């Protein structure tokens, strides 16, 4: 998941309303919007207010706060996130996964035991499918273990697209042609769909990683990919997320962050591990 950076004059929200909105979104979703994103937030909020026929900002904020179904908050969140990604993005971490990290994860485990990998903030699914293809193609012990892949996002619309698994050329630019032929079916001139077996192998779920109650469902993960997501959180949001990822991981499990992110600046809970392909962060044994 990622957020845009468009700028411009703000039209609707007063400074106090903007602050109230940002505070609310930060508390509920972990997403942190600065003054630089004001135009972007303003436009999305105005759109949603018009859609539900609410005239005053405070009224709309109350709707978000107190609507029992949470439907409007979900619709707003869907509008507040932009999801630009592609297959095999930041490939060096996938290299690290199959060249070193997984071998360490399964050391001492009996053949046939489970390995759990979670793509947190999976957007339209390119990351979890890239992980799946990389494992199948390049991890030489892939047949020795039962691998469970989890993928989650806070945006219900992108999650639905991830489950459909239909992609256009832009997403597939780094996909070798032989793998495209092997794992995808061409639908028309512009789109391909990933094979049913891979789509069925991943558990996609709607998850807000800022919510401790939802995060309690994730336990025993061996590797978590959380790339280019926490950069949109503030310091406290990152620290809180790191703490919950810690609980989600098995001892000695790894977390992979984006190339510009450093766990050392978020939390002291993890140990940085330098592998030939990448730096990962490891939950200590005890």
Q: Considering the rule CB under 8 A, would residue 246 count as an interface residue with another protein?
A: yes
Q: Considering the rule CB under 8 A, would residue 217 count as an interface residue with another protein?
A: yes
Smallest separation (angstroms) from another protein to the CB of 56: 27
Could you tell me the end-to-end alpha-carbon distance of the chain, in angstroms, rounded to an integer?
A: 32
Window of 5-13, 17-25, 128-136, 179-187 that interacts with another protein by CB under 8 A: 128-136
Q: Considering the rule CB under 8 A, would residue 214 count as an interface residue with another protein?
A: yes
Phi, psi of 119 (to 5 degrees): -100, 100
Region 177-206 residues binding another protein, contact defined as CB under 8 A? 197-198, 200-206
Q: Which of 31, 94, 244, 278 binds another protein (CB under 8 A)?
A: 244
Q: Considering the rule CB under 8 A, would residue 285 count as an interface residue with another protein?
A: no
Smallest separation (angstroms) from another protein to the CB of 213: 5
Cα–Cα distance measured from residue 227 to residue 257, given in angstroms and rounded to the nearest whole number: 4
Cα–Cα distance measured from residue 180 to residue 172, given in angstroms and rounded to the nearest whole number: 8
* Whole-number Cα distances in Å, 182 to 22, 143, 186, 192: 45, 18, 11, 12
Cα–Cα distance measured from residue 156 to residue 159, given in angstroms and rounded to the nearest whole number: 5
Q: Which of 243, 250, 273, 275 binds another protein (CB under 8 A)?
A: 243
Number of chain residues interacting with another protein (CB under 8 A): 43
State which residue, 154 or 257, has the beta carbon closest to another protein: 154
Q: Where are the beta strands (DSSP E) in 100-243?
A: 114-120, 146-153, 166-168, 184-186, 191-194, 202-206, 221-226
* Whole-number Cα distances in Å, 30 to 59, 73, 118, 125, 244: 22, 13, 19, 21, 13
Q: Which of 3, 63, 269, 271 binds another protein (CB under 8 A)?
A: 269
> In sequence order, what are the beta bridge partners of 168?
191
Locate 176 and state its tokens: 């070798």
Q: Considering the rule CB under 8 A, would residue 235 count as an interface residue with another protein?
A: yes
Q: What is the DSSP letter of 270?
A: S
Q: Considering the rule CB under 8 A, would residue 163 count as an interface residue with another protein?
A: no
State which residue, 64 or 241, has the beta carbon closest to another protein: 241
Q: Considering the rule CB under 8 A, would residue 158 count as an interface residue with another protein?
A: no
Q: Which of 73, 76, 80, 135 binds another protein (CB under 8 A)?
A: 135
Dihedral in degrees, nearest 10, Cα atoms 4, 156, 249, 90? -40
What are the residues binding another protein (CB under 8 A)? 114, 116, 132, 135-136, 142-150, 152, 197-198, 200-207, 212-218, 235-236, 239-240, 243-244, 246-247, 267-269
């Amino acid at each position: 998941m990622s957020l845009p950076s468009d700028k411009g004059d703000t039209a609707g929200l007063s400074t106090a309303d903007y602050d109230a909105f940002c505070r609310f979104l930060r508390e509920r979703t972990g997403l942190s919007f600065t003054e630089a994103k004001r135009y972007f937030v303003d436009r999305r909020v105005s759109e949603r207010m018009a859609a539900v026929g609410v005239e005053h900002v405070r009224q709309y904020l109350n709707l978000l706060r107190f609507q029992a179904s949470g439907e409007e908050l979900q619709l707003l969140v869907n509008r507040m996130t932009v999801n630009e990604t592609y297959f095999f993005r930041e490939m060096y971490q996938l290299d690290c996964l199959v060249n070193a990290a997984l071998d360490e994860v399964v050391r001492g485990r009996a053949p046939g035991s489970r390995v759990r990998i979670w793509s947190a903030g999976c957007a339209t699914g390119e990351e979890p499918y890239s992980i799946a293809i990389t494992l199948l193609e390049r991890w030489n012990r892939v047949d020795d273990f039962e691998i469970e892949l989890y993928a989650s996002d806070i945006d219900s619309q992108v999650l639905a697209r991830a489950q459909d698994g239909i992609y256009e050329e832009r997403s597939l630019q780094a996909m070798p042609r032989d793998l495209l032929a092997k794992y995808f079916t061409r639908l028309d001139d512009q789109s391909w769909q990933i094979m049913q077996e891979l789509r069925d192998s991943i558990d996609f779920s709607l998850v807000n990683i800022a919510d401790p109650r939802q995060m309690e469902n994730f336990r025993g993960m061996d590797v978590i990919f959380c790339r280019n997501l926490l950069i949109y959180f503030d310091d406290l949001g990152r620290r809180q997320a790191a703490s919950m990822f810690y609980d989600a991981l098995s001892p000695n499990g790894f977390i992979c962050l984006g190339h510009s992110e450093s766990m050392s600046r978020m939390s002291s809970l993890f140990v940085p591990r330098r592998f030939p392909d990448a730096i990962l962060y490891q939950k200590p044994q005890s």
